Structure 1
Amino acid sequence: MKKKIQRARMWRYFLDAAAEIIEEEGIDNITIRKIADRAGYTSSTAYNYFKDLSHLVFFAAMRFTTTYIEELPAYMEKGNNTVEKWLYSWECFCKHSFEQPEIYAILFMDNLGAIPEDLLEDYYSIYEDDLIGLPEQIKSIIMEQNFSKRSALYIENAVEEEFIDREDIDYIADVTLMVWKGMMSTFMNHRRNYSKEQAVERTICYVYESVMRTIKPDKRVKINYRFLGN
């Protein structure tokens, strides 16, 4: 128990320091030495608790998803069925990810040299309060770090509602993931002159079109999703 308390305390010191540097200098300027100096420890001490700088940055980046997690239930409540709720959850995700592209790229695109699910489980073992108040279904989506699995995990309920066939779940999850990654890469690398609002709207449009192709013809009239915008 004492070791767990000590570990949680040290994590907070380093993650607080990392989050402050991200806010002040940007995520591209973060180093293990800067983090350790600000936390009041040496770099070697930091490595006793984090195997790699990318892991520490990953955990620090999680701090910046709080607003997304808090807003997600309200977005999903706007839907009247699983497909609509799934689309509104995508809108919430896109809104926040394009507002903070560097943060979300680290969490969902970068090579961490480790299994993201394990890192996320470690994070919430320390910051379990971040999940208090979330419905169990949303907790399971948050804890499933693999993006396409997160998507499939929720929309599979649409099979029972007879909106889609089970064999389409993986297609929907994979295609929409590629849509978001493609737009995020385009947006971050300035390959198109998109504002964040345009990037969100275009991504949602492509996600919507992708899922509608799989909706059973007699069920399409029951999808009344309306893009809310920012």
Structure 2
Amino acid sequence: MKNARKEIQRARMWRYFLDAATEVIEEEGLEQVTIRKIAKRAGYTSSTAYNYFKDLSHLKFFAAMRFTTDYISELPLYLKKGTNTIDSWLYSWECFCKHSFNRPEIYAIIFMDDLGGSVDELLEDYYEIYQEDLIGLPEEIKPIVLELNFSKRSMLYLQKAVDEGFILQKDVDLLADMTLMLWKGMMNTVLNQRRNYTQEQAASQTISYVYEMVRRVVVPDKQNEINYVPN
């Protein structure tokens, strides 16, 4: 009973602080998030905030996750568009690019920044508090959503493409790693304003690169079964 009360209290405090962090991000931007500012808005001291979050990077990570609910809710719809695993995987990339380049600073924190610890543990902590974010997700999609290592996430999904004969086992790691590097390269380009891409251009260019990479590894006899066409 005592542990149950403690967990309820922890969940309640998390929501106070993350609601405050979300408000600051929406009003002032991610770069304005500080422990002191979030604690004050939540009605507590900074020392209280540190009782629940190891450091600012962790608080930013958890707050950033609150902005991924649209992506998570749309992902199953995109996956359903595909008639085979490769098509579905390309549609999932389309969904991810659409949302990640719409909020690049959010997705960079989640998938690129050094968080100084186990990302798996952070994600587990997050979904313990926000279990409702997973409600309604098909069971086969939950392992993808719950895996923050994007390369590993792709490997999990692409394994089915091996079973369907679209790609060889030896190319799974290559395809997963190379497509992740393509996205990270474009994300760095956008964040550092190296090119004048709009959000739509960055997303479209990235998915085109991913598509070309896929075409290079799909076995010749299966090429004509890929129905996905980049916009």
Question: What TM bracket, shorter-length normalisation?
Answer: over 0.9
Structure 1 runs of 4+ aligned residues shifted over 2 Å read none
Residue pairs, 1:1-230, within 5 angstroms: 1-227=4-230, 229=231
The CA deviation at 1:192 is 1.0
Q: How many pairs align?
A: 228
Tell me, in whole angstroms, the C-alpha distance in 2 between the residues paired with 1:67 and 1:47.
29
CA distances 1:96-152 after superposition (whole Å, capped 9, x unpaired): 000000000000011110111110010001101100000112110010111100111
The CA deviation at 1:193 is 1.3
Tell me, in whole angstroms, the C-alpha distance in 1 between the residues paired with 2:196 and 2:25.
26
Tell me, in whole angstroms, the C-alpha distance in 1 between the residues paired with 2:148 and 2:197.
27
Alignment RMSD (CA, Å): 0.7
Tell me, in whole angstroms, the C-alpha distance in 1 between the residues paired with 2:139 and 2:154.
15
Tell me, in whole angstroms, the C-alpha distance in 2 between the residues paired with 1:80 and 1:209.
19
Secondary structure, aligned partner of 2:109:
helix
Structure-1-length-normalised TM-score: 0.98
Tell me, in whole angstroms, the C-alpha distance in 2 between the residues paired with 1:137 and 1:18.
31
The CA deviation at 1:66 is 0.5
Tell me, in whole angstroms, the C-alpha distance in 2 between the residues paired with 1:137 and 1:24.
36
Tell me, in whole angstroms, the C-alpha distance in 2 between the residues paired with 1:13 and 1:196.
32
Structure 1: any 5+ residue segments left out of the alignment?
Answer: none
Tell me, in whole angstroms, the C-alpha distance in 2 between the residues paired with 1:173 and 1:49.
34
The CA deviation at 1:5 is 0.3
Structure-2-length-normalised TM-score: 0.97
Tell me, in whole angstroms, the C-alpha distance in 2 between the residues paired with 1:15 and 1:195.
29
**Seq. identity, %:** 68
